[in-house]
Amino acid sequence: MANILTEIINHKKTEVAQLKTITDYDLNNLESYRVKNALACSFYDALTCDGLSVIAEIKRRSPSKGQLSEINSPVELALQYAKGGANAISVLTDNKYFAGDINDLSAVSNMLKTTDHKVSLLRKDFIIDPVQIIQAALAGANAILLIVSVLRERTADLLQVSTKLNLDVLVEVRDIPEIKMAVASGAKIIGINNRNLNTFEVNLRTSCKFIQYIPDNIVKVSESGIHSPVDAKLMQSVGFDAILVGEALVTADNPTDFIQQLKSN
């Protein structure tokens, strides 16, 4: 699995170049792409309610585990998540490595607008260019993921683009220098990824070790490797406001019940 992140980003650059050939977005008029009928529940608000918030992920496969679940209907799975009390839903839209699609995001957004569930929507992808952020807004996302290890100093620039589009941003980090970079970029929500994106190995101690370096006024999310209510309780006990859960949910017999168990601490 070594260098898988480099491989993914190189392919993403090709994807973005292709996207630009079929779109004509005006980067000087970003506000025009704000979606007025986006889901009412902001991502930030979804993660700052009472108790531990759960970001439930729609994820078909991963480079490390291969196929996790076919998920023929992301809309049906999203509805199960919402019924379980998920505060937000993360939709993986990378196709080559995770078998996702931007149309999954649009479909879930359209479904949630027809329900009474107050759930926010995150586009999870390897975002490296403003056109992907515009695409996320037009597809109905409330938020996007920005990965500091990928973007480095460009994190701040893409965060500003997101703000102009009324999108919240989950800024992902792995160590102290990345936390400092995220804070300097103006991040309001920081996620510590327990998965090493170079090797895809997971260690929950990563979250426990680095949460102390995130300022108190920033929303804190623990990402990856959370497989049980015990794991969820641990993350809450050390100070996390939210957890992002993917693999354990898409492989669960009853995702609705599992989310309720994660939130029952």
223 in catalytic set: yes
From the list 193, 194, 207, 222, the catalytic residue is 193
From the list 90, 172, 188, 247, the catalytic residue is 172
29 in catalytic set: no
224 in catalytic set: yes
User: Shortest CA distance to 124 belongs to which of 249, 244, 3, 1?
Assistant: 244
164 in catalytic set: no
15 in catalytic set: no
57 in catalytic set: yes
From the list 12, 124, 164, 263, the catalytic residue is 124
From the list 57, 109, 164, 188, the catalytic residue is 57
From the list 12, 59, 164, 188, the catalytic residue is 59
From the list 194, 224, 247, 263, the catalytic residue is 224
From the list 178, 194, 220, 223, the catalytic residue is 223
7 in catalytic set: no
Catalytic machinery residues: 57, 59, 124, 172, 193, 223-224
